[in-house]
Amino acid sequence: MDKILQTGLSLGMSTTSGFHTGKPKPTESPSPPSTARSTRPTSALAAGPGATRARGATGRKSGRPCKPPDASSTTPASTLSTRPRPTATANPNGESERRIGKLVKGLPRDSYVIQTKWLGRAMDVKNYVHPSDAPYKTLKSSLERLELDYVDIYLVHGPTHPQSIKAVAEGLAKCAKEGLTRTVGVANYPNEKVLEMKAALAEHGIPLATNQVEFSILRRWPEVQGEIKACTVNGMDFQGYSAIANGRLTGKYTVENPPPKTYRFSSYPMEDIQETLAVLEKIAKARGKARASVALNYNISKGALPVVGIRNPEQARQAIDALGWRLSEEEMIELDRVSVEDTKTVFWQQG
Ligand SMILES: NC(=O)c1ccc[n+]([C@@H]2O[C@H](COP(=O)([O-])OP(=O)(O)OC[C@H]3O[C@@H](n4cnc5c(N)ncnc54)[C@H](OP(=O)(O)O)[C@@H]3O)[C@@H](O)[C@H]2O)c1
């Protein structure tokens, strides 16, 4: 079954199409009491290259310093989490990486954090010929496009790689040891595979830095299933992508003006999420904030590092406005009551 799915992915089949179009399943778990609320700094946010289907690039500088690569470093990933990160997710032709490379050209290397990904493709012969070298070779190409000597975080894009976790870990460890990346992580991994990868990397003396999974008010699955907690317990960052549900949590889309069909993450019919949007709007109005800022603050308050796709200066401003404050416990409970749990898929989102 896995092989068939991987072949589909390799042929360009959508990873998410059709999976989120059912009725949203409300989350039953209550808000944690305030004492158990996230201790994540209020200044954590990662900026992705617009939406995943929008192949533009964006990034922000940070005043916080960043150490040069150190292969022997066991610096916990959480030390990186207070800095904004441009994410240069590799699209098929690497255009995001080229654009981000141009964007940061000339800036001091310790003034920004770069994250990119490797996707194991079943139909890519190199993945089989060089099972452990595939992530290494791919990162070398990414660095050429970025015109950089190293990235800060290198992720495995999804758990659908044809190689074993041990083989992937070997490749990731080689990247870290040769200084091509400061830290390594995974995306869309369920807890058991996170732990397997952590153990496999530990054999090479390399820590696992992060797990990146879809997380928002419209997808609390990783919170309910314990993926966020597992990251905290294991000294890792939990990154939550599609943090505003492809724009659905911003007020720009309505029943009359739904998002394009290609905006596939948490793609519930707008009719089905009206109650959620009404509560979000009420809290945003009371706070004098944009709905996007409140939605992102919700994620931060849950212990996630939101990865948000930004396409223009106003969207960047609203993302930044999610920082430096916290929703109250009452507001979190209100949002939890209208939140959606969602589920996982074997195709892609196992976490
Ligand atoms: N690991 C994975 O499998 C995976 C999967 C998906 C995404 N990601 C990562 O997560 C990043 C973000 O995810 P995403 O782009 O899918 O989802 P997102 O952040 O939930 O949505 C971003 C989109 O919402 C709109 N938007 C952003 N800020 C807004 C604001 N303040 N007001 C109104 N609209 C706003 C923009 O699109 P429009 O202006 O076009 O409406 C933007 O492209 C990606 O760049 C990628 O790095 C990872």
Residue of 15, 45, 89, 291 to test ligand 1 pocket, by largest number of atoms within 8 Å of CB = 89
Alpha carbons 85 and 258: distance in angstroms, whole number: 29
Alpha carbons 71 and 182: distance in angstroms, whole number: 7
Q: Pick the atom of ligand 1 nearest to 216's CA.
A: 20
Q: Is residue 171 in a domain?
A: yes
Query: Which pLDDT value is given to residue 85?
Result: 58
Q: Is residue 242 in a domain?
A: yes
Distance in Å, CA 247 to ligand 1 centroid: 7
Query: Which pLDDT value is given to residue 20?
Result: 46
Q: Is residue 238 in a domain?
A: yes
Containing 185, the helix (H) or strand (E) segment is: strand 181-187
Flag the least confident range among 54-68, 184-198, 214-228. Answer: 54-68
Distance in Å, CA 332 to ligand 1 centroid: 22
Structural domain containing residue 302: 41-337
| Mean pLDDT value of segment 255-282 | 95
Please, which residues bridge with residue 237 across strands? 210
- CATH number at 178 reads 3.20.20.100
Q: Is residue 8 in a domain?
A: no
Query: Which pLDDT value is given to residue 202?
Result: 98
Q: Is 13's pLDDT higher than 50?
A: no
| Mean pLDDT value of segment 258-264 | 91
Cβ within 8 Å of residue 243, ≥6 positions away? 215, 216, 295, 296, 299, 304, 306, 307, 308
Q: Is residue 114 in a domain?
A: yes
202: left (phi over 0), alpha (psi -120 to 50) or beta: alpha
Is the distance from CB of 45 to CB of 33 less than 8 angstroms?
no
Nearest residue to 342 (alpha-carbon basis) of 186, 224, 247: 224
Alpha carbons 156 and 135: distance in angstroms, whole number: 8
Q: Pick the atom of ligand 1 nearest to 115's CA.
A: 47
Q: Is residue 30 in a domain?
A: no
Query: Which pLDDT value is given to residue 38?
Result: 57
| Mean pLDDT value of segment 252-280 | 95
The total number of structural domains that make up the chain: 1
**Using 50, 70 and 90 to split pLDDT, how confident is the model at 48?**
low
Q: Is residue 344 in a domain?
A: no
Residues with CB under 6 A from ligand 1: 48-52, 54, 87, 89, 157-158, 187-188, 212, 241-247, 250, 252, 265, 290, 292, 307-311, 315, 318
Kindly report, residue by residue over 53-92, the tens digit of the pLDDT: 332 222 222 222 223 333 333 333 333 333 445 565 545 5
Kindly report, residue by residue over 119-177, the tens digit of the pLDDT: 877 777 777 777 889 999 999 999 999 999 999 999 999 998 889 999 999 999 999 99
Q: Is 304's pLDDT higher than 60?
A: yes
Alpha carbons 318 and 322: distance in angstroms, whole number: 7
Distance in Å, CA 32 to ligand 1 centroid: 27
Q: Is residue 347 in a domain?
A: no
Q: How many helices (H) and strands (E) does the chain have?
A: 12, 8
